[in-house]
């Protein structure tokens, strides 16, 4: 595609011009924006770029592997993976309040990233940080640029002064659909290019109650089934986001075989939206919902009830926390 190719060529030239022979850092989240931004920068300056992926243990099934394996294979990017699941889970232990969870995750993220950035900085002068800022983000924040920390995406306050970077923002003039097209043109994995938006705090805000390893496993198993069935029905692009929420502190009675069960409900929250500011609940075909329900209750023993959220935004939010 000529347009995408020329956008890529222009950005590659601009990045080379801005960065020169300096080292550049990028935090990958698993999302489209940071993945495409990093791939563009890599196309421009190769191994002057180092990416950091903080695996906080709150991603969905297969997402960490997608970054560590598929993405690295597709791009050849130099990636430092930090497996920090124990640390995040430790910090979240006993915490049920949504804003508290966000604060803790943001704080831990910045600490882990800082540590990784320091280690990388030891190997050479790092002066730049890549951010996947899109045009709508620029407009929303009043158009400013300059030095900053990690995108608000990660709910982070900022980096310390000795770790301030100039920003490289190759997606600043682009909309989401253009970013996806460029990602595809750069050969990124299809599943990554078409990934639905996913909150920085991840599954932690989709477990209503305390976040534990066991609860994450339950939610991950249910979420995987919901996503598989949505994809199998060819509906990925009709839905904006499809949160699956575990009501971990709620139990309800069920029956399976000869036995009574006392398990947990999950909530399906598929929504359509243009920009996440407002949303409507998706009218998914009943057969798709039925397959998800049957599979989840058969394959995830801890879940004995599946409910559908039919609330628009407003008054509901997309996420439950
Ligand atoms: P709500 O739930 O407010 O969500 O309707 C609107 C959009 O924002 C996402 N979201 C978050 N993203 N950190 C993020 O990076 C967060 O703490 C967070 N909370 C909500 C949500 O997934 C939806 O796309």
Q: Which residues contact residue 222 at a Cβ distance below 8 angstroms, ignoring those fewer than 6 apart?
A: 244, 246, 266, 296, 300, 303
Compute the distance between CA of residue 286 and CA of residue 313 in angstroms, rounded to an integer: 22
Give me ligand 1 centre to Cα 261, in Å.
Answer: 33
Give me ligand 1 centre to Cα 166, in Å.
Answer: 26
The reported pTM is 0.92
Give me ligand 1 centre to Cα 80, in Å.
Answer: 26
Residue 290 has pLDDT above 60, yes or no: yes
CA 266 to chain centre: 21
CA distances from 251 to 189, 248, 263 (A): 39, 8, 5
Beta carbon of 317 within 6 Å of any ligand 1 atom: yes
Residue 152 has pLDDT above 70, yes or no: no
Phi, psi of 137 (to 5 degrees): -65, -40
Compute the distance between CA of residue 264 and CA of residue 251 in angstroms, rounded to an integer: 5
Domains and CATH numbers, the chain: 2-193 (3.40.50.620), 207-308 (3.30.300.10)
Q: Measuring CA to CA, which residue among 83, 78, 196, 177 is closest to residue 130?
A: 78
* Average pLDDT for 290-305: 97
Q: To test the ligand 1 pocket, which listed residue (99, 137, 200, 318) has its Cβ within 8 A of the most ligand atoms?
A: 318
Q: To test the ligand 1 pocket, which listed residue (276, 314, 321) has its Cβ within 8 A of the most ligand atoms?
A: 276
Least confident piece of the model among 92-106, 119-133, 144-158: 144-158
pLDDT of residue 162: 73
Question: In what helix (H) or strand (E) does residue 219 lie, and over which residues does it extend?
Answer: helix 213-232
Q: To test the ligand 1 pocket, which listed residue (60, 319, 320) has its Cβ within 8 A of the most ligand atoms?
A: 319
Q: What confidence tens digit (pLDDT) does each residue in 26-43 have?
A: 999 999 999 999 999 999
Residue 154 has pLDDT above 80, yes or no: no
CA distances from 131 to 2, 52, 305 (A): 25, 12, 41
> Contact, 12 vs 44, CB < 8 A?
yes
Q: Is the ipTM of this complex over 0.95?
A: yes
Give me ligand 1 centre to Cα 194, in Å.
Answer: 18
> Contact, 165 vs 127, CB < 8 A?
yes
- The alpha carbon torsion through 206, 211, 217, 222 (nearest 10 deg) reads -20
- When pLDDT is cut at 50, 70 and 90, the band that residue 161 belongs to is confident
Using a 10 angstrom Cβ sphere, with 0-12 exposed, 13-18 middle and 19 or more buried, the burial of residue 54 is buried
What 8-state DSSP symbol labels residue 31? Answer: S
Compute the distance between CA of residue 37 and CA of residue 33 in angstroms, rounded to an integer: 6
Annotated binding residues for ATP, written as ranges, equal 29-35
Ligand 1: atom nearest CA of 200 is: 15
- The alpha carbon torsion through 119, 122, 123, 127 (nearest 10 deg) reads 100
* Helix pair 176-185, 2-19: axis angle to 10 deg: 90
Beta carbon of 199 within 6 Å of any ligand 1 atom: yes
CA distances from 2 to 8, 37, 174, 181 (A): 10, 19, 16, 11
Compute the distance between CA of residue 192 and CA of residue 63 in angstroms, rounded to an integer: 9
Tokens 């990690």 locate to 150
Compute the distance between CA of residue 48 and CA of residue 129 in angstroms, rounded to an integer: 12
Q: Measuring CA to CA, which residue among 64, 66, 105, 58 is closest to residue 216?
A: 58
* Average pLDDT for 236-241: 96
């Amino acid at each position: 595609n000529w347009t995408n190719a020329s956008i890529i060529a222009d950005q590659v030239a601009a990045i080379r011009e801005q960065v020169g022979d300096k080292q550049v850092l990028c935090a990958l989240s698993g999302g489209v924006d940071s993945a495409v931004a990093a791939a563009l920068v890599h196309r421009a300056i190769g191994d002057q770029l180092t990416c950091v992926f903080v695996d906080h243990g709150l991603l969905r099934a297969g997402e960490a592997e997608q970054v560590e394996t598929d993405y690295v294979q597709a791009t050849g990017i130099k990636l430092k993976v930090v497996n920090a699941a124990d640390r995040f889970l430790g910090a979240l232990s006993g915490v049920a309040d949504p804003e508290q969870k966000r604060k803790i995750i943001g704080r831990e993220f910045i600490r882990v990233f800082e540590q990784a950035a320091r280690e990388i900085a030891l190997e050479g002068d790092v002066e730049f940080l890549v951010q996947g800022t899109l045009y709508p983000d620029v407009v929303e924040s009043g158009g400013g640029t300059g030095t900053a920390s990690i995108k608000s995406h990660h709910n982070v306050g900022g980096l310390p002064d000795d770790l301030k970077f100039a920003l490289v923002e190759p997606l600043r003039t682009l909309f989401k659909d253009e970013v996806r097209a460029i990602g595809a043109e750069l050969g990124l994995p299809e599943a990554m290019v078409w990934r639905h938006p996913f909150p920085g705090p991840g599954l932690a805000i989709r477990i209503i109650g305390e976040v534990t390893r066991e609860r994450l496993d339950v939610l991950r198993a249910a979420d995987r089934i919901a996503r598989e069935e949505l994809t199998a029905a060819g509906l990925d692009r009709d839905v904006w986001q499809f949160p699956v929420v575990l009501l971990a502190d709620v139990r309800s009675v069920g029956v399976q075989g000869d036995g009574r069960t006392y398990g947990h409900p999950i909530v399906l929250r598929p929504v359509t939206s243009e920009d996440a500011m407002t949303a409507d609940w998706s009218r998914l075909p009943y057969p798709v919902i039925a397959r998800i329900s049957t599979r989840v209750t058969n394959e995830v023993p801890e879940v004995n009830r599946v409910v559908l959220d039919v609330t628009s935004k407003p008054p509901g939010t997309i996420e439950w926390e």
